[in-house]
Copies of this chain bind each other. A is one copy, B any other.
Amino acid sequence: MSSGRKEKLVAPGMLRDLITAWLGDGDLLALGGLFKQGRPCALVREVIRGGRRDLKLVSSPGSGFDVDVMIAAGCVAETFLPAVTLETRMCPAFRGAVEAGTVRAHCVDALSVVGGLMAAAHGVPFQPVVAWKGSDVPRNNPLAAEITCPFTGEALFATRAIRPKLALLHAQEGDRYGNIRHLSTMTYADQMMARASERVIVSVDRLVSTEDIVARPRETTIPCTYVDAVVEIPHGAHPTGSFPLYSIDEAHIEGYADVAEAARRAGRDGGGDAGDGLADYLTRVVRAPATQADYLEAIGGKARLTALEQEAASL
């Protein structure tokens, strides 16, 4: 029956062209995962290599590493990101760019982003929000407006539908038709972003058969009908975690943060060679690797990956 069914599986080498076709300079890009889990880091490196600029970014309400690398690489003009942090420390490139005025970081919160994605996923122009009281965020939030309930007469807020041009997501498994399965306990806003976005590309750590998908349909987290392209990229979330397959590479993220922080201070102080570490990182780790295998070699190879797999297996 499925002999003539169209596949959505693409080769990693096709990614850059696809991303460039589906995401223009200045467009709104959505990134899946949260903080250091399930981030589409391999896909983000392709966006950087593709040279897109002036992007607007939205994500689940917590982001950090990959967003900071995109800002460091000069791809970003505006962010609609509630929290941007490496959790144990701030995001250096984000902080530096906002303080320098080169990136505009809108004050949005979880409800504006989640509500906006919900509205787009549901096909309506806005989502009502009540739970914004006392904070300065809704007062400065470009996604928020005041509205009156037609039933109760109460004053509340509306948050505007967010419809990204492209969503980049990462999951553990998927089939060649684009049925996606997260094995992780946490999936954050990935499903909602898939439903809200015009185009969706998902990297998966491993391809599975459609028979395997049909055997457990309740476990499909993103049905194929929302997915435009699926690509198999082992360790595609590195250095963030992809549980239960591999854990978070905190040392890698710390190492990046150190060179990015040095660059930030150098930029602020106008001083010397302190940005060289970041430039080297962007060249050596982000831009130079031609394949995921090259990337994995650059970040420490088999020894590093095995350690991360063992940590995930021990949890």
Contacts and interface: CB of A to CB of B under 8 A. Distances in A.
Nearest to A181: B218
Contacts of A240: none
Contacts of A182: 218
Interface string A103-121: 0000000000000000100
B145 A126 contact: no
Contacts of A124: 127-130, 156
Nearest to A159: B151
Interface residues of A, number: 27
B125 A128 contact: yes
8 tightest Cβ-Cβ pairs between the two chains A and B: A145-B150, A124-B128, A125-B149, A151-B160, A147-B150, A150-B158, A125-B152, A185-B217
Nearest to A129: B124
A154 interface: yes
Given A125-B149, A219-B219, 8 more contacts: A124-B128, A125-B152, A128-B128, A145-B150, A146-B150, A151-B161, A182-B218, A185-B217
B119 A125 contact: no
A29 B46 CA distance: 52
Given A145-B150, A150-B147, A119 B126 contact: no
A131 interface: yes
A152 B130 CA distance: 20
